[in-house]
Structure 1
Amino acid sequence: MEQCDQDTILRSLVDLTKLLDLNPRFLSLLQQKYRVFSQQMVEDILKNETPALELCFMLVKRGPNAYNNFVGALRETNQLEVLSVLEVTRSNLNQPAYQFIPSRETNAIPIRRRNQSGESRDISNGDFNLSNVLYSSSSPQCDEYRRRVLQPPNYIEVDPFQPAPRERSSSFRGSPVTDALPPDYNLLDIRVTIGDEIKGLGQDIYPNRNIFPRGLALIMNFEKFNGDIVGRRVGSEKDVIHLDQLLQQLGYKVIIKSDLTWNETNDELELFTKSEDHTEADSVVVAVMSHGKSGTHDEGTLIYTKDCKFFSSEDLLRRFNNLNCPLLKGKPKIFFFQFCRGDNIDIGHRIAPVVFQSGRTVTDGNPVPTSPTEIERSYGDMLITYSTLPGYVSYREESEGTWFIKALSLTFMRDAHECHVDRLLQIVDEQIRHWTGTRNGKQTLEIIKRGFNRKFYFNPGLWKIQ
């Protein structure tokens, strides 16, 4: 889809979600006549809590004829108010009025690029290309996921409505082995909304220097593990891609570390907390994703490393306190933790749930003396979000990534321009509340504040380049 057409859809989301009539004839036209979506994609749209919003997100990731075919289906179902909204948006974006081209041709076949691990991904509209990246680290490990998905070496074309042959081999020069696999349409198009004015000017607001980059963001993902103690976290690479795109667009210099051993994890955390880049930063974001299990009160949650050793969540947080990381003293330190914290399943109570299960759902896991002297406290300005409660599992869709990171990405890109981070996380939790996994499993975020006593706004896009 052309960039101008994507912008028209995304800037009209509020009205589209209210006005779109997803009646059977409209959906049939999109599927059978214009072939914008497959039957499975239509079913996935209707399963969603907000089907009109889901349709829009999927639409912008279709081929170059998708917008024209969408307009055609609107015209044939007489959705004139929606067509009017789209034309007003185009006018506001200084785009010419759209000229519908009658066509019965199939929507463009999505280009699927193959990476060196043999995985095939849909990038038919140019999603996640490097021209959309605000900042790219030069670190080789940071580029690992980006190279694998953003700039794969070559591509094959497939019919989205037939099983897709996919090549696999240990080397691209070797003889490929083919098998039939369905296309992967499940990467989100992360496009953060830019506000019109800077939010949060006052005494109860964390200072925002409005300079890019605003600070460092560390993403640590553990997908593959030695031995057979815990399984591979299939789908977690999507979380990395989504967070990478989101945090860059929120103004951070993103560092990605994947599948580290215990020693490597310890070294990387040490380097990160001592980085001189924190001197000029106004905040920091740290995301850790792995398998996990319950620890003692002092340990918090035990997080698996690649070599199946553990480091504790409390030890990680301790590294960022005022004593061990003075460069970040007084600055917001935001943590996103995605892992199980035990084996319990929250089965909730019976209501009519919205089932979130487009793929296979799995889980990520397995007295103080006083002093009369006034001293500075060790912890402050920390906002910690665990994907689940102590003792409970955390859900991950093998086709879409974890519930937590998907909901976080969708919410932050839509609302970060006007909401402070506390409110954003409340919205994330409210969205996850409506999703149900296998065995009627539910999930609840745990949001902890340690001296995080002011509001923090991201103000995406409203900064000066240093």
Structure 2
Amino acid sequence: MEEQHKRILRRNRVHLVKELDLSDLCGVLLKKGVFTQSMINDIKNCETKRDQARKLVKDLETRGSGAFAIFLESLQETGQRGLLGLLQKTLPGVQFQPVKPTQEVYPLIQPPLDSNDDKHIEDIVPKKPKTHLGPSPDDVFKGPETKTRRDSMQPYKMDAKPCGLCLIINNVEFEPESDLSTRRGSNVDCDKLEKRFKALNFIVEVQTNLKQRKIKSELLALSKKDHLMYDCCVVIILSHGTEVSHNRFPGAVYGVDGRYVSVQEITNYLNGQHCPSLQGKPKIFFIQACGGGEKDTGFEVSPEEAKPSIGGDGDQTDAIPISSSSDSLSTSDEVDARATLPTPSDILVSYSTFPGYVSWRDPAFGSWYVEFLDKILEENAATHDLATMLMMVNHEVSQNSAKGLYKQMPGSFNFLRKHLYFQTSE
């Protein structure tokens, strides 16, 4: 499908997911050769109507240059004129000419065109039958294909009400002996995330200014709870951080007493071995903390890549005053972490910054990472999966500069096995 038509689908995805009537539409798209029987089966196997609509729209983008026009035609044939008009309005001046009922039309199913081959919508509605590279009209009725498609993967079940538990640990005031500064602006982050995850139908608990031992006890208590009625669990930690030795998940976060807990140990509390009621369910960790003491000055880009930065001169970091390297750890710390960590399936850890680097925070408006995480979740949770939204966060944060010089690059360690779509009220 041409890029301009993909953009139209993405721009209107919220309405499509909410309003598409698939009862007749799937059959029409099957008959016209847009989808195979196997793809229709995959769509119908999705648990909710929204999941079915979301998968149909996503798969449509892969179905060749004629798929968009055939989709418009199919909307008209199934009486969904409201959505048809909505899509047409996105391309001003384009008139959709329906194909006569007696005329057989099948789309050209092929890889996406190069930009040099772009066509207008008037040109992609074929006037007469064309030879195509996809399945023939007879083939689409032969039943499920034997091959397994990569994009047929089902999303995680996320329809429990409430969806799950969310624990936020917000460390702001640190003890004088820790030599760690007050994290001004962290309460702004905490308030944003508490409201956001309540809106996503989570039960949110906030704990403030915890020492290392208390962080561990709260995580242990969370792991001992019965999660059988829930579909997901979220842990958010806002604190100072540092770089530590690891064999799977880098970094550590500090308690207010100046003693740290490694991210590796944090995730370990909720893995399938230590929390059986979360086995096979997504466990999501958001870490707003420094990954070390190094500051990134970025690299020069072309003028068209450059965008105005919004970071201020007063931005602060969540790094410890003296960077702690992996060489400073004892062998016993390293061995203990390795001995108790099983395979981390169904876990995603999202970091505010690249391991080894500082993470920037505005004392008045909160951290860059949380600001954009909250914004992206608000605007895209109804239509996009978590991994895609985190990539959007990466892009937005990368555009900022602190003091006109320093950059920040978030990232994640993703061990999820499926797409994850949050619940929304839309």
- For normalisation by structure 2, the TM-score amounts to 0.56
- Cα deviation digits, residues 112-154 of structure 1 (max 9, x gap): xxxxxxxxxxxxxxxxxxxxxxxxxxxxxxxxxxxxxxxxxxx
d(CA) in 2 for partners of 1:403, 1:336: 13
Q: 1: CA distance between counterparts of 2:215 and 2:342?
A: 27
Distance 1:340 1:438 in 2: 17
- Identify the residue that residue 418 of structure 2 maps to in structure 1: 454
Q: Which has the higher helix share?
A: 2
Is it true that 1:286 corresponds to 2:235 in the alignment?
A: yes
Secondary structure of residue in 1 paired with 2:373 = helix
What do residues 251-289 of structure 1 show as CA deviations (whole Å, max 9, x unaligned)? 10001011011221121111111112x111111111111
Deviation, 1:377, is 6.0
- Deviating runs (4+, > 3 A) in structure 1? none
CA gap 1:218/1:398 in 2 versus in 1, 3 angstroms: same
Identity among equivalent pairs (%):
28
Q: 1:213 maps to what in 2? A: 162
Q: Secondary structure at the match of 1:438?
A: coil
Say yes or no: does 1:421 pair with 2:386: yes
Structure 2 unaligned residues grouped into runs of 5+: 1-10, 13-150, 321-340
User: What is the CA distance between 1:353 and its match in structure 2?
Assistant: 4.4
Q: How many residues align?
A: 252
**3-state SS, counterpart of residue 285 of structure 2:** strand
Give 1:382's aligned residue.
347
Which residue of 266, 280, 284 corresponds with 1:330?
A: 280
Shift of 1:202: 6.3
What is the letter of the counterpart of residue 360 of structure 1? G
| Higher Rg of the two aligned structures | 2
- Counting only pairs closer than 5 Å after superposition, residues 192-203 of structure 1 correspond to structure 2 as 203=153
Q: Measure how far apart 1:355 and its partner are.
A: 1.9
Root-mean-square deviation (Å): 2.1
**Amino acid of the structure 1 residue aligned with 2:228:** T
Q: Any conservation in 1 of the 2:312–2:403 contact (CA below 8 Å)?
A: no
Measured after TM superposition, the shift of residue 203 of structure 1 is 4.2
* Mapped contact 2:160–2:229 kept (Cα < 8 A): no
Once residues 226 and 438 of structure 1 are traced to their aligned partners in structure 2, the CA distance between those partners, rounded to angstroms, is 28
8 Å CA contact 2:294–2:358 kept in 1: the answer is yes
Q: 2-side partners of 1:256 and 1:359: how far apart?
A: 30
Q: For residue 272 of structure 2, give the secondary structure of its aligned residue in structure 1.
A: coil
Give the aligned residue type for 1:308.
G
Give the structure 1 partner of residue 210 of structure 2: 260
Q: 1:288 to 1:402 in 2, by over 3 A?
A: same
Q: Closer, same or farther in 2 for the Cα pair 1:459/1:302, shift >3 Å?
A: closer
CA-to-aligned-CA distance 1:207-253 (integer Å, 9 cap, x gap):
12x23211000101111100151100000000000000000000100
Q: Which amino acid aligns with 1:331?
A: K
Amino acid at match of 1:240: C
Whether the 8 Å CA contact 2:239–2:288 is kept in 1: the answer is yes
Deviating more after overlay: 346-355 vs 304-313 = 346-355
User: 1: distance between equivalents of 2:241 and 2:382?
Assistant: 33
Per the alignment, residue 315 of structure 2 pairs with 361
CA distance in 1, matches of 2:313, 2:363: 6
The answer for the alignment partner of 1:245 in structure 2 is 195
1:27-426 to 2 correspondence within 5 Å? Answer: 203-208=153-158, 210-227=159-176, 229-276=179-226, 278-298=227-247, 300-351=250-301, 352-358=306-312, 360-366=314-320, 378-426=343-391
1:439 Cα deviation from its structure 2 partner: 5.5
SS at match of 1:265: helix
Aligned partners of 2:313 and 2:402 also within 8 Å? no
Output the amino acid matched with 2:421. Answer: Y
Task: Give 3-state SS (helix, strand or coil) of 1:287's partner.
Answer: strand
Partner of residue 161, structure 1: none
Q: Is contact 2:368-2:397 (8 Å) kept?
A: yes
* Partner-residue secondary structure (3-state), 1:430: helix
Query: Once the 2 structures are TM-superposed, how far is the Cα of residue 365 of structure 1 from its aligned partner?
Result: 1.1
SS in 2 for 1:407: helix
Alpha-carbon distance in structure 2 between the residues aligned to 1:357 and 1:449? 28
> What per-residue deviation string (whole Å, max 9, x for no partner) do you get for residues 155-179 of structure 1?
xxxxxxxxxxxxxxxxxxxxxxxxx
Contact preservation (8 Å) 2:243, 2:250:
yes
Equivalent residues of 2:312, 2:404 under 8 A apart: no
The separation in 1 between residues aligned to 2:357 and 2:188, in whole angstroms, is 23
Letter in 2 for 1:268: E
Classify the secondary structure of the residue corresponding to 2:191: helix
Structure 2 counterpart of 1:431, one-letter code:
E
Give the corresponding residue for 2:47: none
Aligned counterparts of 1:392 and 1:358: Cα–Cα separation in 2: 18
Matched-pair contact (CA < 8 Å) for 1:360–1:398: yes
Residues 179-213 of structure 1 show CA distances to partners (whole Å, capped at 9, x for unaligned) of: xxxxxxxxxxxxxxxxxxxxxx96431112x2321
Q: Please give the TM-score of this superposition, normalised by the length of structure 1.
A: 0.52
3-state SS in 1 of match to 2:396: helix
SS for the counterpart of 1:314 is helix
Show the counterpart of 1:47. none
Deviations along 1:375-395, one digit per CA (max 9) or x if unpaired, are x96321111111111110000
Instruction: Please say if residues 387 and 404 of structure 1, whose CA atoms lie closer than 8 Å, have aligned partners that are also in contact.
Output: yes
**Alpha-carbon separation, structure 2, partners of 1:329 and 1:320:** 9
- Alpha-carbon contact 2:309-2:404 (below 8 Å) kept: no
- Matched AA of 1:383: L
Higher strand share: 1
Measured at CA, do residues 437 and 378 of structure 1 come closer, stay the same or move farther in structure 2, by a change above 3 Å? same
What SS does structure 2 have at the residue aligned with 1:435? coil
2:326 alignment counterpart: none
Q: Aligned partners of 1:263, 1:447: CA distance in 2, in Å?
A: 26
| Distance in 2 of aligned mates of 1:378 and 1:361 | 38
Matched residue SS, 1:383 = strand
